[in-house]
Amino acid sequence: PQATSLYPPTFTFSNGAPFASYSIADFPTTASFCDSDDGNTTNQFTAARAGPSEVCDPATCVSGLPHHSIQCRAGLNDKAILLKGKLGTYWSKALGTPAWAQFVFPAVPEGSDEFHFRFTLDSRYRPELYGGNACDIGDGEQCVLCTGDVWDYTIQPGVFLLWSAAGRDIFVIDEVLGGLGEAWDDKDLVQTVKVPDELELEVGEFPVVTLMTFSQYSGYGEVPDQSKCSTLYSNNSTHPNKDKAIMLTTTSLLYRTPLPLLTTPELKHPRLYGTDTQWLAEHVTPFFTTPCDNMTHNNVGWFGEKGYWTARGHFDLAARGFKSCEGQSQPVLGLDGWYSLEEYFDVGGSGYPEKDVGGFRAFHLLRRLWACFDSGRGGCEYGEEETEVLANAVAKGEMLRFAATMWSCGGSCGGNGDAAFDLTAAEKVSYFTHFYDVLISRKGNDELLSVEDAVSISEKLEDQIDLFISAFWTGGWQLWNGNNWTPHLCVAAIEWAIVFWHEHNTKATEVLRIANDIMWLHRNYYTDDGVYVEGVAMYTYMSMEGMMAMASLCRASFGFAPTAIDVGTLKKTAGFIISSMATDGYLIDFGDAHRKRGFGNPMAVVEAVIADVAVNGGTVTGGSTSAVIDSIQARAFAASLYGSSGIYSNPWRVRGHVLQFDEIVGLRDPPKYPSRPLGGPRVDLFSSGGYARILTPLLDEVVNAPCFGGDDGANKELCIDPTLPSLADNIPYSSISLQARDNKYAHSEVDFSTLIWSAWGTRLLSEFGYGTISTSVQKWDMRRYAYLDNNPAGHNTVVIREAFPSDDDTTMNFSQLNFVPGTISELILEDTNNNDHSPNHCILMDGSNPYGANRSDGWLDIMKRYVCSFTGGTNLILDILQTKANREPMRLYGSQYGGPDFEETIPAAQRLTLDEYFYTNTAAEIEVVDGVAVEKPFVAGSIKRCSHVNVEVRDGHDGGTTAVDLKPACGIGSYRAADGNGLIAGISVGGQGSFVYDGLVTSVDRWFTPHALKQRRFRFVSDNKVGPEGDIRAFVLASYPVTQNTTNVHLTNCALSLGCGSTTDFDQPIVCSCVQACVSDKVSWIIVLDGALSLMRRVGMCDGSSGSVNLDTDIVSGIQLELGFPNITPAPTGSPTEGPTKNPSRIPTAEPTLAPTISCRKQQVRFSVELETDEKGEDTTWFLKMKKKNGFQNKLKGKNLASNKLYRREICIKKKKCYKFIIKDAKRDGLCCSHGQGYYKITRNGKVLENSTYNNDKPSEIRKFGCKQ
C-alpha cells in the first residue's frame, strides 16, 4: 500500500514506452534517514530510505559524541546519500553491522521482462570498502583492525545487493559487488547490475533494491598500535578518506521488454536496406522512372531559380553527379569525370575524396552497378570494365583513408580524451560499415578487399561498437542525454548490427535492442505540438536524419520501425520547421541553434510531412497527408530552399518514399493574390514547445505581381511569379519569431521572451545564435550565466540593471531564473473599427515566474510581453512590468557546479531599473585597439550576401517620439541592396523613456575565441525606476520600402483621455494605462487594466508626419462605457504632448461626498469607493467581487496604496447581481486610529452602504449587497 501511494496507478513511462529508466535522485527531497523513535526504521515512506541508527556507547562511539545517544549511519553529503562504516569521526571504531540504503521503484509495466539496477558513485569521494580482512597478508589470516563489535573477517570488499518487491518478506541476495574503489579510480562512476532472474518480478509489483555494507573496514591496511584505535590509522595510508564507505548521487532501474523480430537480414551481402532487389525497387529505380517535372528545379530559392523542390533532381545530384532533367550528361568515371570521384584516380593526391560524401557516392554507385550486372537485364549506367577500374581505385583509396582515420572528436565535442562512441565515431562507423558491406559482397576478388583488410575493418568496427554498448550500460551522456546525438549514434550502430548480424549475432541483437530502447529518451525532445526543443539547425535536422534512416533500415531488415518514433508528432514538426524560417531566408537561431541560410536539408521537411509513409511504409493516400501543411507553407518551403546541400547529399539517405511528397493534393495551388505569395496574416503558435511566429504581409491585396530592386546589376531585380515560388516571395513580409521555451533543455538559454524580426527580406533584430554551448541542464547549474550570449543581457528582452554583479560587469546578468518556465499563449482582440474588421492577434509571453514572481527574493511580480499584429502592417510589443513589493535580496549559488554566484547587496532594491535590450547584425570586420573591439568601415556590396544594419537614434525631443531607424546595407539574395528599412518607436507611461545606442558588442564563441561573436546593440531606458506601481512600455515596429524615404510613429499617453484618473489609482500604471499610437493616418488606443492588455482599438485619424490626431468621440465614448469609465471629453485635436507624459498624480479633494461623474446603462447602477489610508497604506487592500456560477470574481480592486492619501473609484455595475466588498488590513489595525485617521465609504446608486473607520483588529470587513436572502 505504501508503494502504491508513492507511485499511483496512473504512473506511466514515456507515453507508454516499452523501455523506461526511472531515476531516484535529489535525495534531499526523495530520501528519509533514521527519523523514527526507535532509530531503526523511518516514519516517512519515501522512494529512498537509509539507515540504520546505532546507540553510541564507549566501545563504538568516541570523538565527543554523547554516549547513549542515537546516531545515524546514513545521511546526506550535499545531494548524495552517504553510508558510513562507523559512528563519529576521528577515534571511532569500525562497525560490523550493516549500513543500508533502500530504493523503491515504480511497478513493473506490462511486457517488461528484464531489469537492471544502476547507481552513480559520488565523484568527490572514493568508496572505502576493504572488506573484513583489510590487510594485504593473504587470505585466511585475521589482521589487527580497530573494530567495535562482532566482526566477520571472511567478508570480501564491496557491497551486497538485496533484491525484492514491495510486500514480499524475502530477499534474493547477490554475491558481494566488489571493485567499486578501482572503478572510481578509473572514473567509471556509473555501475549497472542486472536484477537476478530468480527474483521473478511480476507485472504490477514494485521492485525494491537494497544496497548494504557489512563488515566493511573503511581503511586499507593493519592497525598495529591499538592505543591509536581509529580507522584513520593503518600501516597503509593509500586512500585518506576513511569515514565514507560509499556515497551515491543517483539510482535508477531500467525496465526492458523483448524486441520481436519479424524478419532478419539476409546472409548475402550487401545487407543494408535489404537485398539488392529490395533496395533497387524501393530506393533507386523509382528515381530513374519518375518523369521530369517542369515546375521543379534543382536551384530553387537561394540559388536564384523559380520552382518547387525536386526529389528526382536531389537524387540525381547525390547519386549520379548530374541533373538529368536539366539536359546535363552523365559524367565519365575517371580523373576528369564526376567531381566527387576524381580523387580516386589522382595518383598525386591522397587517393580518396577529401569528404566522406564522395565515398558514400562511390559505394552507392558500385552497389547499383553490381546489382545491375548480376540481374543480367542490361542497360546499366556504366560498363563492367569501367566499374572494375572504379572498384579497385575505391578499395585502394579507402584502405588508405581507413589507416588515417581518427575515430573520436575528443574534447572538441565534449569528450574528456578517452575513447568514446561520439559523433565522429558514429560517422566513421557508418562510413566504413557501408564500405565493408558493399565491397565484401565481391569476395571472389581478393585484390578488391583482402582477407587481412576485411579483418582489420571488422575488428575496428567491433571495437567502436563495444564503446556504444558500454555507453549504454555505464550511463554515457552521449546516449543518455537523449538529445540530437542519440539518433545520430544509434543509426550507425544499427547499420553495424545489420551488416554483422550473422557474424556477431548476440552482440548485434543487443545493439539493436539498445538503439530501440534509448530512442525513447529522444522522443521526449519533441513536444506534443511538434517542436524539437533544441532548435532547427542543426539539431532538428540531425534528429530527423537519424530517425528516418533507422526506420528504413529496420523495416527492411527486421520488419518494423522503432516504436519510439512518434509519427503523429513528427507530422506537426513540418510546420514548426517551416515557421522557423524568417522572411530574410535564414533559419531562426534561438538558443544554440545555427542561423543557416535557407532549407539546406530539405528532406527533414519532406519526410516530416510524409512521416507515416517514411516510418511505416506504404503510400500517400492524398487526403490523409494533405492536411499536414497547406499550399502556402509548401510555397514558403520552396521559396527559401538552399539547393541540395547538407547531410542529405549522401545518396544512401535519399530514400524512394520522398517522391510521394509531390503526390499530395493541393500543395501547388497558386496564391490568391500575387502581391501576397505567402498568404495573408498568419500566427503560428506552438505553446508546448514555447515558440511562435507572427507573419504580416506588407503589401495590399492586388492581382499584379510586384518586383523589387532595379535591374542594374548592383541592385538585382527580383520579381514574384504567381505560379512558381522563388526567393522574392519573402520580400513583402514582416516576420517576428518569439522564444518562450523552458530553459531546462540542452542547448537552451536564459532568454525568455526574446524575439527576431525580419522585414523586406532583411533581419532587423537578431540573436547571437550558436556561440558558447549552453549545456548546463541542472537546476542549480549557473554556468550559462557566465557568457553574454546565454544570459538575458545578450537577448532582445527585458534586462534588470540591478541583476548585474557590478556596474562594471555588463556581460553577466541574472534577470531571469534558471529552470523556471514561463508560458506562451494567443490573445485575439476584436477591433470593429478596422475597415476590414480584422482582429488583432497577439502572442502573450508571461515571464512573471522566470523573473521571480514565485520567489520572495524575485525581481518582478509581473512581466508580460505581448507581441501583436497592429495597424498598417506594423507590429506592437507591449511590456507590462511590476517590481515585487517588499522583495528580499536575490541569492543564486552556482559555484558548486563551476558557475558564478550572485548576491544582491543588502538591503534589496525595492525599485528597479528595467531596460529593453535590442540587437541587430553587423557584417563589418573588427580590430582590437587597446583591448577594445572596434568596427572597421563597411562597404555595401563588398560581400555576396551580408547581414549588416545601420542604427540611427531619434532622440524624441522637440515633440517627437523616441525611435530608432534600422537601415540595412544588403537585401535578400546575392549582391543586392536593401529593399526596405525598419523603425522602432517606444514609450514608457511611467516615466520619460529614450533609446541609447551602445554600438558594437562582442563575446567569445564555443572555443572561447575573443570577439568571435559580434552584434550591434541599442537599449530603451527610462529615467525612473520601477516599483510596485509598475510600468507599461509600448514599442511599434514599422517597416517601409526603400522607395519611401522614411516613416513616423507617434506614441503618447492617453490615460487622461480614457479616464484612468476618475476610477483608478492614477499613480499605478499597472492598474490603468493607455497608449495612443499614430501610425500612417490612423490612431489607435492600447489599454492596460489590472496588469493585462484589455483592448486595442482604432479611435480616429491622424497626420503621420506631425502626429496631430482627430479622435472619433463616439468611438471613445463607447470604449469608456464598455470599460466602465466616465465619459470625459477627449483632448482637443492638435500636436501630441511633448514627449511621453507620465501618469499624473490625482490630487484628492476634501469633499466627503463623491459627486457622480459617470452615466451608466439602463441595466446598470453606479458603485463608488472612497477610501483614505492611514500611515500604513501598504497594509490595506480592497476588492469588489461579483457572484458567478463558480464563485465570486474580481471586478475592481485596490492594492499597493500610498499612505495618508484619499482614493476614489467609481464603476458601473449590474443592477440585479450579487456583490460583496472586502477590505483587508495586513497588520489587523484597520484604518483608524493607531496610525492615523483613515476611513472608507462605499455607495450604490448614491446610497451609502457602509461608512467605516475599520477600527478593529479583524483581518477584514465584508459587506454584501444585491444578494438574494
Task: Note the pLDDT tens digit of each residue in 8-44.
Answer: 665 555 555 678 888 888 888 888 888 544 444 445 6
Query: Would you tell me how many other CB atoms lie within 10 Å of the CB of residue 736?
Result: 25
| Predicted pLDDT at 657 | 94
HSE-CB at 848 with a 13 A cutoff on CA atoms is 16
Return the residue matching grid coordinates 536551384: 299
SS3 1049: strand
Cα dihedral 900, 904, 909, 910 sign:
positive
| Predicted pLDDT at 1063 | 47
How many distinct helices (H) and strands (E) make up the chain? 22, 52
Task: Note the pLDDT tens digit of each residue in 569-594.
Answer: 999 999 999 999 999 999 999 999 99
Task: Note the pLDDT tens digit of each residue in 151-192.
Answer: 888 899 999 999 999 999 999 998 899 999 999 998 889 999
DSSP state of 536: I
Return the residue matching grid coordinates 497608449: 1075
Distance CA 618, CA 663 (A): 13
pLDDT band, residue 457 (cuts 50/70/90): very high
| Phi/psi at 993 (5° precision) | -125, 155
HSE-CB at 99 with a 13 A cutoff on CA atoms is 29
SS3 348: coil
Over range 476-485, report the average pLDDT. Answer: 90
DSSP string, 214-271: -S--SSSS----GGG--TT--S--S----S-SEEEEEEEEEEE-----S----SSSP-
Would you give the distance in Å from CA 706 to the centre of its chain?
A: 38
HSE-CB at 463 with a 13 A cutoff on CA atoms is 12
Beta bridge partners of 776: none
Instruction: Sort residue 744 into left (φ over 0), alpha (ψ -120 to 50) or beta.
Output: alpha
SS3 409: coil
For 1208-1224, give the secondary structure using H, E and C: EEEEEEECCCCEEEEEE
Distance CA 1092, CA 1086 (A): 11
Q: What is the dihedral of CA 899, 904, 910, 915, to 10 degrees?
A: -50
Q: What is the dihedral of CA 634, 636, 637, 642, to 10 degrees?
A: 150
| Predicted pLDDT at 37 | 42
- Written as nine digits, the cell of 842 is 497577439
| Predicted pLDDT at 1140 | 41
| Predicted pLDDT at 1142 | 43
HSE-CB at 346 with a 13 A cutoff on CA atoms is 15
Q: Pick the residue with more confidence: 135 or 165? A: 165
Cα dihedral 644, 650, 653, 657 sign:
positive
Would you give the distance in Å from CA 370 to the centre of its chain?
A: 47
Beta bridge partners of 1167: 1211, 1244
Task: Note the pLDDT tens digit of each residue in 496-515.
Answer: 999 999 999 999 999 999 99
Mean pLDDT of the chain: 88
pLDDT at 1133 over 50: no
Beta bridge partners of 987: 1034
Beta bridge partners of 1101: 1082, 1110
Over range 759-783, report the average pLDDT. Answer: 85
DSSP string, 953-1012: EE---TTPPPEEEEEES--SSSS---SEEEEEEEEETTS-EEEEEEEEEEE--TT--TT-
Distance CA 1035, CA 276 (A): 62
pLDDT at 226 over 80: no
DSSP state of 1033: E
- Written as nine digits, the cell of 288 is 530513374
SS3 431: helix
Instruction: Give the least confident one: 460-474, 939-953, 994-1008, 1147-1161.
Output: 1147-1161
Percent of the chain's residues with pLDDT above 90: 59
Instruction: Sort residue 819 into left (φ over 0), alpha (ψ -120 to 50) or beta.
Output: left
Burial 568-598 (b: 16+ CB within 10 A, else e): ebbbbbbbbbbbbbbbbbbbbbbbbbbbbbb
Q: Pick the residue with more confidence: 349 or 466? A: 466
Q: Pick the residue with more confidence: 558 or 225? A: 558
Distance CA 553, CA 625 (A): 23
Return the residue matching grid coordinates 571493485: 179
| Predicted pLDDT at 136 | 64
Is residue 935 classed exposed, middle or buried when 0-12, 13-18 and 19+ CB atoms within 10 A define those classes? Answer: middle
| Predicted pLDDT at 424 | 94
Distance CA 241, CA 231 (A): 10
| Predicted pLDDT at 477 | 87
Instruction: Give the least confident one: 700-714, 715-729, 871-885, 960-974.
Output: 700-714
Distance CA 948, CA 976 (A): 12
- Written as nine digits, the cell of 170 is 524475502
